[in-house]
Structure 1
Amino acid sequence: MDAVEGAAGLAHVLREHELVVGARVVLRHRLPDGSASDALGELVAADEASLVVATRRGEVRVRRGDVLAGKAVPPPPRRRGAPHEALSTDELEAVVAEHWRPDERVDLGGWRLRAAGGFTGRANSALAIGSPGVPLHEAVAAVEGFYRRRGLPPRVAVPHAAHVDPDEPALARELAGRGWGVDTPTLVMTAALAALPGAAGVPLPVGCSVASAPEPDAAWLERYHYRGTTAVPPAGRRVLVSADAQVFVRVLDGGGGTVAVARGSASPGWVGLTAVEVAPSHRRRGLARRLLAEVADWGRARGAVSACLQVAAANTGARALYGAAGFSVHHAYHYRVQHHG
């Protein structure tokens, strides 16, 4: 029987929607003698008859009729430390990307070319992780063509160690030499979910209450203003519900008005925090801390063990809030954008 990290709790769990080619999965399956075994690894093939998992001992083909349980599992750690610290920069970027999926994704080697009508940089940039599988100049040309055909500015997300100057990575130097500018330096922060405060420990101001739902309602959408926008476009609404699961949390004042919002999202082993916004009239009252705690509780209830978020490097207030709650910087990234005229 294969050694299975993360297989705990697998019995009787069959998440068909997670069993997609390219995902890291664990399958419990029936053997000819009636016993059961687990296959852990990348799902490399799937059809109506069988599933093929590339394990450390070789490929294992499992007839669908023999599958007892199955689900996606987090990537294996490559570095020592707690799960939220052990993944490499590229590995964590791949995790975080599953919390904010675009309408369209085209892979170029390890790079992910993403488009969603221009709503957010994350959903409308080429995530440069791993190798593009072609010479760098060809990769850049492919990125340019992809975004121009969609009427979007060519944009590349360049991940790097937090202590590294944004101009240091080879890709950044290549793009800078072509005149691509820097946009939105960002930090990726992680935490052990068990260390984050729960809602019971973060009281609300008198008269306030919390409401949560699996989809954003009109009140949530009205409070959320991405970069000052007054309305979330249709593409944005699709991105907001693009993760494996999500929760939309609102804080209501005494009159029932929505004064703060946040979104929680899930991927195997992880909970993500995005779209945190508090009305100016209600800031410095602990509402953001309560939103974070609500999302943390939701993640713990789903069995997650780690949390992640992305915050603009210039947003010192938010960085202080997350740091005080238990988050630490894992790595950084920034966008390189091709501007014309």
Structure 2
Amino acid sequence: MLAVGECGEVPVGAVEGAGGLAHVLREHELVVGARVVVRHRLPDGSASDALGELAAADGEELVVTTRRGEVRVRRADVLAAKAVPPPPRRRGAPHEAVGTDELEAVMAEHWRPDERVDLGGWRLRAAGGFTGRANSALAIGSPGVPLGEAVAAVEDFYTRRGLPPRVAVPHAADAGPDAPAPARELAARGWAADTPTLVMTAALSALPGAAAVPLPAGCSVAGSPEPDAGWLGLYRYRGTTAVPPAGRRVLVSADAQVFVRVVEGGTTVAVARGSASPGWVGVTAVEVAASHRRRGLARRLLAEIADWGRARGAVSAYLQVAEANAGARALYGSAGFAVHHAYHYRVHPGA
């Protein structure tokens, strides 16, 4: 198992909460839009928890939208605060019970763009064109306006930034790409479907650890919280090894991440990125040099990231794979992943 330094989850301060239990304030997790729990002191000296979406945060107070309404908490009254996983939509293990929109929201925090503007539940994202995930409008929930107005807002957002308008549309894996209402609206306007993708999940407890996946002779594994030159040199982005500055920012945008690489004779021959958020670990950027495929390196990368996630307290894992990539789908399926849902992009006809 690789040894890497912890990053992302740095205790800001420890205080005494209700029941005499020590709690940690995870300041870095208090991101607007995240689902959080905030333990705070009440006027009578007792404590209460506000669980819901963080609607606003500044140096004076936190605003949490709970099921019972909006709760405003003065910073001076905060006893503990952290982000929490989304609630389950159905019975079952967390990786199976999470809803499609909720999991999409989780994944979005593992691959954050330089810029994000919300339109109702939709997220308009831009990062200099580096990857569709960071440069598309994520159509989850309601945009809060008629779909025609939402489409116009998306077109304006990306045109102003010199980027092709693109919408990511999640849907059930067994549903056609035109099933969601946003997809039908965009199709009627001539937006073409692109890059059909499957989202696969697994219970971390079911994934093998590094000790169970030996490396070929002559290979070693290493990891770090930032990508080194060898990692970046192998990672393929649109067929090239040159990752733009915006891409480097996206790669280190999660609460925490680890960049795993397999090295042989001083040369990096396989890479992957693991990322973390409360309860979840994500697997992205898996790449194996053509000369070293079918030697179990990708399986070892998955195992390393699974160990890293378990060490951080995560219980579920996700990854995204092109629907047409039968080889990768078979690998992930044999490792313990199963299809959760699908998504595809709709691309403006002028793009």
TM-score class normalised by the smaller sequence: over 0.9
Is 1:259 the counterpart of 2:269 in the alignment? yes
* Residue 121 in structure 1 maps to residue 139 in structure 2: no
Distance in 2 between residues matched to 1:338 and 1:60, nearest whole Å: 40
Please tell me whether residue 143 in structure 1 is matched to residue 154 in structure 2. yes
Report the counterpart of residue 78 of structure 1 in structure 2.
89
Indicate the SS of the match to 1:308. strand
- Opposite residue 77 of structure 2, the aligned amino acid is D
Partner of 1:101: 112
Which residue pairs with 2:99 in the alignment?
A: 88
Instruction: Give the direction of change, closer, same or farther, for the CA distance of 1:140–1:50 in structure 2 (3 Å limit).
Output: closer
Give the partner amino acid of 1:322. Answer: Y
* Residue number in structure 2 paired with 1:134: 145
Q: How big is the shift at 1:293? A: 0.5
Determine helix, strand or coil for the equivalent of 1:12.
strand
Per-residue Cα deviation, 1:86-126 (whole angstroms, up to 9, x for no partner)? 12111111111111111111111111111111111111111
Map 1:288-299 → 2, pairs under 5 A: 288-299=298-309
Question: For residue 202 of structure 2, what is the aligned residue in structure 1?
Answer: 191
- Give distance in 1, aligned partners of 2:348 and 2:226: 34
Structure 2: gaps of 5 or more residues: 1-20
C-alpha RMSD over aligned residues: 1.7
**Of 236, 254, 264, the match for 1:225:** 236
The 1:35–1:136 alpha-carbon spacing in structure 2 relative to 1, beyond 3 Å, is closer
From the superposition, tell whether residues 50 and 182 of structure 1 become closer, same or farther in structure 2 (CA, over 3 Å).
closer
Percent identical across equivalent pairs? 86
Is it true that 1:282 corresponds to 2:292 in the alignment?
yes
Aligned residues: 331
Contact 2:232 2:241 (8 Å CA) reproduced: no
Q: 8 Å contact 1:156–1:335 — kept in the other structure?
A: yes
Gap change, CA 1:314 and 1:72, over 3 Å in 2: same
The TM-score with structure 2 as length reference comes to: 0.90
SS at match of 1:166: coil
SS at match of 2:230: helix
| 2:249 counterpart residue number | 238
SS at match of 1:142: helix
> 1:34 Cα deviation (Å)?
5.3
CA distance in 2, matches of 1:61, 1:102: 28
CA distance in 1, matches of 2:349, 2:119: 22
Secondary structure of the 1:226 match is: coil
Task: Report the alpha carbon displacement of residue 175 of structure 1 after superposing the two structures with TM.
Answer: 1.5
How far apart are the structure 2 equivalents of 1:274 and 1:116? Answer: 17
Where does structure 1 lack aligned partners over 5 or more consecutive residues? 1-9
Deviation of residue 165 (structure 1)?
1.0
Give, in angstroms, the shift of residue 28 of structure 1: 2.9
Among residues 210, 215, 236, which one is paired with 1:204 in the alignment? 215
* Equivalent AA in structure 2 for residue 206 of structure 1: A
Please list the CA deviations of residues 212-246 of structure 1 after superposition, one character each: whole Å capped at 9, or x if unmatched: 00001111100101231231011111110111110
Letter in 2 for 1:297: D
TM-score, normalization by structure 1: 0.92
CA distance in 1, matches of 2:162, 2:173: 32
2:339 aligned with 1:332: no
Counterpart among 286, 311, 314 of residue 321 in structure 2? 311
SS at match of 2:238: helix
* Cα offset, 1:30, TM superposition: 4.0
Does 2:169 correspond to 1:158? Answer: yes
Q: Which amino acid aligns with 1:251?
A: V
Letter in 1 for 2:180: P
Structure 1 residues 265, 137: closer, same or farther in 2, change over 3 A? same
How many Å separate the matches in 2 of 1:153 and 1:283? 34
Q: 2:50 aligned to 26, 35, 39, which one? A: 39
Instruction: Name the aligned partner's letter for residue 113 of structure 1.
Output: L
Q: Which moved more, 1:284-293 or 1:35-44?
A: 35-44
Q: Kindly indicate whether residue 332 of structure 2 is the aligned counterpart of residue 322 of structure 1.
A: yes
